[in-house]
Structure 1
Amino acid sequence: MLKVAGFFAGSGGIELGFSQAGFNIIYANEINPLAAKIYEANFKHKVDIKDIKDVDNVPNCDVIVGGFPCQSFSLAGLKLGFNDKVNGNCFFELARMIKLKTPKAFMLENVKGLVNHDKGKTLNIIKNTLEELGYYLHINIYNAKEYANIPQNRERIFIIGFKDKRAYERYKPLGKVPLTKSINEFVDFNALVDEKYYIKESFTRYELVKDIEKYKIYTIAFKQARTNKDNVCPCLLASMGKGGGRTPFIKTSDDKIRILTPKECFKLQGYPSDYIYIHKIYLKHNFI
């Protein structure tokens, strides 16, 4: 069984997928204590809660995985790239770890915006760095609604590297699958949830959302409530729960307006219904 070490593990989404595919997850690194608690509630080992640059106890492994911070490359962010001193240089720390552990393969994930960031220069730097370490690369963009049968418009770039050229040549990209699941299987429009998730009439711009249709997911854009034409969830962002126009919301079966709950968001991210999560959410309800 191939051994996997995960970096920027978050709540364990990538590691969960590898575990379900038969890999042995032996290590995880994550700097956010709350995300680490969620991870530890679902896996049998502790999380190394440190900045990756301070990690020095990573066990030998066959595969390294990591969704290095995307805010620096996201269209929704400031797009500072490697100039972002907090998140932008995390890739190079991950490359350092790959050089140190020399795994048979790795899988790195980030936002689609990485492709065109700085007119493609950023991705070229990443490719050159990894190829100089002796890896053959496959780079693909997948959308959850097209490849995972999950009704979320979530496009991500996956950079997969193999040390062995024969393994690289055997790799086959994913094929598209029909989207047969609807948002009703992920969002409970009839559920009674905690009062903190509801949007009251006293909130700013309530008039923008009061007349939305039921059984669809909306966000605020250009001072309008908008829904995806395919009736799927818009891309969930790292800012979920902090308010703002990009926070998805719904009209419930009893005509109330609320944002999505953490459980619903986890399901829309591909986590199983029995995944254990711990949450501490700050809600501003500033939908402008």
Structure 2
Amino acid sequence: MKDKYTVGSLYAGVGGICLGFKNAGFKMEWANEFDKNACITYRENFKHPLIEGDVMQIDATTLPKVDVLAGGFPCQPFSVAGYRKGFEDTRGNHFFKILDFVDAMRPKVIFLENVKNLVGHDNGNTFKVIRNEIRKRGYTFDEQVLNTKDFGNIPHNRERIFMIAFDEEFLREEGFKFEFPEKEALTKTIKDVLVHEEVDEKFYYREDKYMFPMLESEMKRDDTVYQFRRQYVRENKSNVCPTLTANMGSGGHNVPLIKTNFGFRKLTPRECFRFQGFPESFKLPGIANSHLYKQSGNSVSVPVIERLATKIFEVLNQVGSRKDKNQAQHTA
């Protein structure tokens, strides 16, 4: 049994997965991220090595081996029929690059995150290949869609699929099934997440903005979040923040809106990071807000990752304790 299990993080973004694992007691060994602005935010918050650049250019054999290989990877279609014939796209495909790391490092755990729709992507072929390729390598494979509002105690409607695989050789347990966390009651409200003071004027929509009459007509409540969609304003009826997206960074038009005592405004980048469960201590660097919006929309919800990582830590410790006990009996 080890005091700290190590993690290597691919497609790390600003470190949502890394922070969740770190909070659960893991040691971050290294991470990789391609986006230069995400790397700026990452380095503000983590001290371990970050390899900035294209994952396709990394030789997995040059990095320290880790207990957990994690990544929220870009999803691409594969043709199962074509893949069986050799499928030439495998070399440029992100999932197959992850498999290179798996083959080189043989981690005890593979932790993957993606959009909920991955299961139906390319008529189910993508998910079939992912599951089959991981199982073929002697790993278990369990997946579940978790919503941040149900598993992270944050009022944010964000459904993501999590795939968790354990090395069967390490487990030595027939019929193992990973137990995902239980749903928990949502006790935090939108108001718990928002800044209640006046914020910078640039976040407000004043009377000089063409959409102001529409906002004034539709935005009546101060306890929910709205979305402006060019021709109409949509209220979130379930009193949670709608799914934050990466394209919030493109001009700010997709950033959710709120009604405050100081006027109608969009969420600030700090509020978006809060809706992803990042703590106040998480530093946001002095880069353009468009980048920060994109980074929060691209990220994972930290408390959901922490709950999953805690469960993984428990399994690793249980297996480690069992092996220690067996070893002690053999040497006695």
Q: Secondary structure at the match of 2:247?
A: coil
1:11 matched to 2:8? The reply is no
Amino acid at match of 1:171: F
1:91-106 superposed matches below 5 A: 91-106=95-110
Query: How far apart are the structure 1 equivalents of 2:248 and 2:197?
Result: 20
1:110 matched to 2:114? The reply is yes
Q: Secondary structure at the match of 1:181?
A: coil
1:55-204 superposed matches below 5 A: 55-56=58-59, 57-69=62-74, 81-82=77-78, 89-164=93-168, 165-166=171-172, 169=176, 171-188=178-195, 190-204=196-210
Q: 1:82 and 1:194, CA in 2 relative to 1: closer, same or farther beyond 3 A?
A: farther
Amino acid at match of 2:205: I
Q: Could you say which residue in structure 2 is the equivalent of 1:77?
A: none
Aligned-residue offset at 1:50: 1.2
Query: How far apart are the structure 2 equivalents of 1:111 and 1:54?
Result: 25
Aligned-residue offset at 1:219: 0.8
Aligned-residue offset at 1:54: 0.8
Which string of whole-angstrom CA distances, capped at 9 and with x for unpartnered residues, describes residues 121-179 of structure 1? 21111111212222110111100001110100000000101012546726311100000
Q: 1:194 and 1:69, CA in 2 relative to 1: closer, same or farther beyond 3 A?
A: farther
Q: 1:282 and 1:139, CA in 2 relative to 1: closer, same or farther beyond 3 A?
A: closer
In the alignment, is the contact (CA less than 8 A) between 1:137 and 1:161 conserved in 2? yes
Query: How far apart are the structure 1 equivalents of 2:252 and 2:283?
Result: 26
Amino acid at match of 1:142: L
Larger C-alpha radius of gyration, 1 or 2?
2
Give TM-score, length-normalised by structure 2: 0.75
Q: Which shifted more, 238-247 or 136-145?
A: 238-247
Q: Secondary structure at the match of 1:157?
A: strand
Q: 1:203 and 1:241, CA in 2 relative to 1: closer, same or farther beyond 3 A?
A: farther
Amino acid at match of 2:145: I
Q: Secondary structure at the match of 2:141?
A: strand
Q: Could you say which residue in structure 2 is the equivalent of 1:230?
A: 238
Which string of whole-angstrom CA distances, capped at 9 and with x for unpartnered residues, describes residues 196-250 of structure 1? 2222334343333223022321113583211222100000001123246532111
Q: Could you say which residue in structure 2 is the equivalent of 1:75?
A: none
Residue 33 (structure 1) aligned to one of 6, 15, 36? 36
Amino acid at match of 2:9: G
Q: Could you say which residue in structure 2 is the equivalent of 1:286?
A: none
Extract unaligned runs of 5+ from structure 2.
Answer: 80-88, 292-332
Q: Could you say which residue in structure 2 is the equivalent of 1:52?
A: 55
Q: 1:282 and 1:269, CA in 2 relative to 1: closer, same or farther beyond 3 A?
A: closer
Number of residue pairs matched by the alignment:
269
Q: Could you say which residue in structure 2 is the equivalent of 1:263?
A: 270
Q: Could you say which residue in structure 2 is the equivalent of 1:76?
A: none
Which string of whole-angstrom CA distances, capped at 9 and with x for unpartnered residues, describes residues 237-286 of structure 1? 011232465321111112x1211111111111011111112241249xxx
Q: 1:276 and 1:244, CA in 2 relative to 1: closer, same or farther beyond 3 A?
A: closer
Q: Which shifted more, 106-115 or 161-170?
A: 161-170
In the alignment, is the contact (CA less than 8 A) between 1:52 and 1:94 conserved in 2? no
Q: 1:245 and 1:141, CA in 2 relative to 1: closer, same or farther beyond 3 A?
A: same
Aligned-residue offset at 1:192: 1.9
Q: Which has the higher contact order (CA 8 A, sep 6+)?
A: 2
Query: How far apart are the structure 2 equivalents of 1:270 and 1:5?
Result: 21
Q: Which has the higher helix share?
A: 2
Q: Which shifted more, 6-15 or 43-52?
A: 43-52
Q: 1:187 and 1:132, CA in 2 relative to 1: closer, same or farther beyond 3 A?
A: same
In the alignment, is the contact (CA less than 8 A) between 1:215 and 1:252 conserved in 2? no
Using the aligned pairs only, state the percent identity: 39
